[in-house]
Amino acid sequence: MENKQEHYYIIKNIKNVADKVEKGDGILNITKNKVLSLVLFIVIILNSSLVFAITFQDVPQNHWAIDHIEKMTKLGIITGYEDGTFRPDKTITRAEFAVLAVNIKGLEEAAKLAKGKTEFSDVPDNNWASGYINIASKNGFIYGVGNGKFEPNSPIRYEQAIALVMRILGYEEKVKARGGYPYGYLIVAGEEGVLNNANGVYGDLTTRGVATLLLDNALEVEIMERVVYGNKIVWEKIGKRLYNELGLSKINKERVKSYNKEKNTITVGSKTLEVKEGFNFEEVYGLKTTIWYKYDKSKNKNYLVDYKVEEKAKFDAVQLGKIRDIILVTEDKEYNIAEDAELRLNGSMSKLW
């Protein structure tokens, strides 16, 4: 027998045909063994995922940074251009990266209020990023380059971008203990996962694509904050992450148990989340999904912000084998159903044997 392993199954769309099973637009003839005439939706646990896509004409689906670009865009951290492009390989400036740092800390409104005079002679009051540079510099996320200058239009180098990310995470003191700038930042960033899948090297100019990768990785890193114990001040991880500062909560790899198209909601674990009009419910139903959502206290509702489907589904007609075995007709493979597997016929719990 092939593929003897545990899976999760959802069975839908009973056809009630005696000796044949519908598959897509065609009919599959099946020999008259013990046959259940229906279409089976099987979730096979694979290393693949689906994400709610935002499309940029210059970011193909196989682009190495597409997941990071889409998440940062959906979270409002970064935006594309008016012509429908993202320009992932375009270098990012110091001013632009300061904007991303402020956005990911949830300080965008503060930056709007801080627009105007800065401490840098090359950032005039009317500079488009003056408010963001004020907030980023006053919070110690980014510094000037000396002589009272900021160089807002200069590209930010890889090690500079990493230093900024680690500062917004609160790791400045830990970095100092590991040698400071630049290598202390690179070492600690590597240890904390900020450099996962990053291939940059010291001196590289940072691109928009690389910026989204670094910030996406940073979302999951525990923030360090100052804690006072009597006369002693220490910096500790307190279980909070950057996505919390954006007002987001995370549900990690739980199954979407049900949905309601009329109310535009899905239920994941114990949470019911409202989704946007046109949401593809079948894409997530029954699948382990990682979800980021925001709670609106005024409406007492949870709103889905982003999601990633962690499993891949197969659609096939089936034939029942011996007890707790099931055969995929088109694929011609036999699977063993786990003892604790849930089976649903048209959304309701069912028992096949």
Of 243, 267, 285, the one marking the end of a domain is 243
> In this predicted model, what pLDDT tens digit does every residue of 67-112 receive, in sequence order?
999 999 989 999 999 999 999 999 999 999 999 999 999 999 999 9
Q: What b/e sequence results for 176-210 when a residue is b if at least 16 CB atoms lie within 10 Å of its CB, and e otherwise?
A: eeeeeebebbbebbeebebbeeeebeeeebbbbbb
141 shares a domain with 67: yes
pLDDT for residue 25 is more than 90: no
Q: What integer pLDDT is reported at residue 119 of this predicted model?
A: 96
Number of domains in the chain: 3
Q: Are residues 146 and 288 in the same domain?
A: no
The answer on 291 and 159 residing in a single domain is: no
- Claim to verify: residue 31 and residue 79 sit in the same structural domain: no
pLDDT digits over 186-236, tens only? 999 999 999 999 999 999 999 999 999 999 999 999 999 888 787 887 889
Confidence of residue 252 (pLDDT cuts 50, 70, 90): very high
Same domain, 137 and 204: yes
Q: Does residue 192 fall inside a structural domain?
A: yes
Grouping H, G, I as helix, E, B as strand and the rest as coil, residue 66 is: helix
| Region 53-71 average pLDDT | 88
* pLDDT at res. 229: 80
Residue 35 in domain:
yes
CATH number at residue 305: 2.40.50.320
pTM metric for this prediction: 0.76
Range of the domain at 279: 247-309
**Whether 75 and 136 share a structural domain:** yes
The C-alpha atoms of residue 111 and residue 99 are separated, in whole angstroms, by 9
Distance, in Å, from the CA atom of 4 to the CA atom of 1, rounded to the nearest integer, reads 7
2 token code pair: 């092939």
**One-letter amino acid for residue 77 of the chain:** I
Q: Is residue 2 part of a domain?
A: no
Q: Is there a single domain that holds both residue 268 and residue 122?
A: no
Q: Quick check: is 1 in a domain? A: no
pLDDT value, residue 234: 81
Residues 149 and 231 in one domain: yes
Cβ neighbours for 268, distance < 8 A, ≥ 6 positions apart:
251, 254, 255, 256, 257, 289, 291
Give 245-260 as a DSSP string: HTTEEEEEEEEEEEEE
β strands within the chain, DSSP E: 8-14, 20-23, 26-29, 38-44, 50-51, 222-229, 232-241, 248-260, 265-268, 271-274, 288-296, 301-309, 312-320, 325-328, 333-336, 344-345, 348-349
pLDDT, averaged across the chain: 82
How far is 23 from 38, CA to CA, in rounded Å?
A: 9
Q: Both 304 and 315 in a single domain?
A: no
Residue 223 lies in a domain: yes
Q: For position 46, what pLDDT does the model report?
A: 41
Q: Determine the pLDDT at residue 345.
A: 56
Residues 13 and 92 in one domain: no
Task: Give the pairing of strands 288-296 and 301-309.
Answer: antiparallel
Is 101 in the same domain as 228?
yes
- pLDDT (0 to 100) of residue 283: 85
- Residues 164, 88, single domain; the answer is yes
Please check the confidence at residue 334 and state whether its pLDDT lies above 60.
Answer: yes
